[in-house]
């Protein structure tokens, strides 16, 4: 069997334990790929939060551009397949120009998305996008790749992975031919199509709350008193919702980085069960899902679960949060409940799913086709085969 290629995943801002599962690193290594994880977070004034020894053993930490140059000089002449989030190419253009050599191939991905990004396709932008889509495959736009890189002021990849055709940006349609654009499914669906776990709470009516670590995530936007009282107010709200909805329990699905804040969280939500690393399973079992604006709303949509968005006046004063709430309501017709209000204003009869909007959301953001394979495994194997055949 011919040896597989070197694959380096690049992390520019966020690097978590969950990336081992998301990128199916164990499976890639079992298939013979030589995997490395390039931690560029320090260059961008960010910090990785990994604690998994498996990930540590594969990680090359780069603290500055001098170390990045040394890393590059130490590479063999063999081609490397680099993999990174597409947003990194736009935000750190010079960094990627510094890394990639002529023989290397770069796969960028956009597989966990928020619907509001695509409502910006209005007016002239929408007209251009639709025209490019109509002529895609008719005119060889990709032969002008250097022009598009200048126009969009972004480093452009050699290959692109997206969860659906709908989310492929205009710049990618212009700069890459169809055979170099992989449409598979979202990160969440990657896991859902292979998961088969027994119920965690059989014969129980449960609701779940998807914790987003708001006091930590919004540390610099929220004052100390709000952060201190957040979980107390949240617990009171969730217990009241449990009674209102006739639930046996409301389970808290802990955030993937909760272990990094174990000391701060140890006394929070004492009257609610907390479960780690089982968010998908909990959503599948839930009668109703409570959250602020988590991207795991996509999992609830996949399983046709009703979702209630919990807010308060302080959260809504944050423009980014408010935008998320508005876009989720627009896309899915979700119910929004202010945690500081009386529960008399919330009616169980209004908790529903809009089947049409849920199905549209699945088509636009979650599932591009019925490929029963992890999207990263699929894409990397296709690129590896192309390099081997010298069709790059």
Does residue 198 come out as left (phi exceeding 0), alpha (psi in the -120 to 50 range) or beta? beta
206-366 homologous superfamily: Glycogen Phosphorylase B; (3.40.50.2000)
Q: What is the pLDDT of residues 234-271, one digit of tens each?
A: 999 999 999 888 999 999 999 988 888 888 898 999 99
Domain 6-185+368-388, CATH number (from 3.30.70, 2.60.40, 3.40.50, 1.10.1660): 3.40.50
Sorting pLDDT into bands at 50, 70 and 90, what band is 373? confident
Residue 213 three-state SS: coil
- The domain spans of the chain are 6-185+368-388, 206-366
Percent of the chain whose pLDDT exceeds 90: 56
* DSSP string over 308-335: EEEE-HHHHTSHHHHHHHHHHHHHH--E
Residue 2 pLDDT greater than 60, yes or no: no
Asked whether 210 and 253 are in contact (CB, 8 A), the reply is yes
The pTM for the full model equals 0.86
Mean local confidence (pLDDT), 55-83: 94
Q: Is the pLDDT of residue 1 over 50?
A: no
The pLDDT of 218-223, averaged and rounded, is 80
pLDDT, tens digit (0-9, with 9 covering 90-100), for 310-350: 999 899 998 988 999 999 999 999 999 988 876 666 666 66
Model pLDDT, residue 117: 58
Cβ-proximal residues to 124 (8 Å cutoff; 6+ apart), any chain: none
Report phi then psi at 84, rounded to 5.
-155, 165
Q: Do domains 6-185+368-388 and 206-366 have the same CATH topology?
A: yes
pLDDT digit string (tens) for 6-25? Answer: 999 999 999 999 899 899 99
For residue 347, the model assigns a pLDDT of 67
- The string of pLDDT tens digits covering residues 99-139 is 899 999 999 999 877 776 555 566 777 888 888 888 888 88
């Amino acid at each position: 069997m011919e040896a597989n290629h070197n694959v380096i995943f690049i992390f520019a801002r966020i690097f978590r334990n969950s990336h081992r599962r998301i990128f199916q690193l164990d499976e890639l290594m079992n298939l013979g790929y030589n995997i490395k994880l390039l931690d560029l977070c320090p260059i961008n004034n960010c910090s990785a939060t990994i604690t998994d020894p498996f990930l540590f053993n594969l990680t090359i930490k780069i603290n500055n551009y001098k170390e990045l140059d040394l890393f590059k000089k130490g590479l063999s002449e063999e081609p490397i397949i680099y993999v990174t989030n597409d947003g990194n190419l736009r935000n750190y253009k010079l960094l990627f120009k510094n890394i990639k050599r002529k023989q290397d191939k770069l796969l960028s991905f956009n597989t966990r998305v928020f619907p509001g990004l695509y409502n910006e396709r209005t007016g002239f932008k929408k007209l251009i996008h639709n025209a490019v889509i109509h002529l895609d495959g008719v005119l060889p736009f990709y032969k002008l790749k250097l022009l598009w890189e200048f126009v969009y002021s972004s480093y452009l990849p050699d290959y692109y992975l997206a969860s659906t055709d709908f989310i492929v940006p205009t710049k990618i349609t212009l700069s890459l031919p169809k055979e170099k654009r992989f449409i598979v499914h979202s990160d969440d669906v990657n896991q859902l199509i292979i998961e088969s776990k027994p119920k965690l709470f059989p014969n129980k009516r449960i609701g779940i709350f998807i914790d987003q670590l708001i006091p930590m995530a919004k540390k610099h936007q929220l004052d100390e008193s709000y952060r201190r009282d957040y979980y107390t107010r949240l617990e009171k709200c969730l217990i009241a919702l449990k009674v209102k909805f006739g639930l046996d329990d409301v389970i808290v699905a802990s955030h993937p980085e909760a272990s990094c804040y174990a000391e701060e969280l140890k006394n929070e939500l004492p009257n609610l069960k907390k479960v780690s690393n089982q968010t998908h399973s909990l959503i599948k079992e839930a009668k109703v899902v409570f959250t602020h604006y988590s991207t795991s709303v996509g999992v609830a949509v996949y399983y046709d679960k009703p979702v209630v968005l919990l807010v308060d006046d302080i959260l809504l004063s944050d423009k980014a949060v408010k935008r998320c709430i508005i876009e989720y309501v627009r896309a899915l017709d979700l119910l929004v409940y202010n945690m500081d209000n009386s529960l008399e204003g919330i009616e169980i009869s209004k908790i529903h799913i809009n089947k049409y909007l849920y199905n549209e959301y699945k088509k636009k953001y979650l599932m591009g086709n019925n490929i029963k394979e992890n999207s990263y495994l699929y894409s990397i194997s296709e690129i590896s085969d192309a390099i081997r055949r010298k069709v790059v």
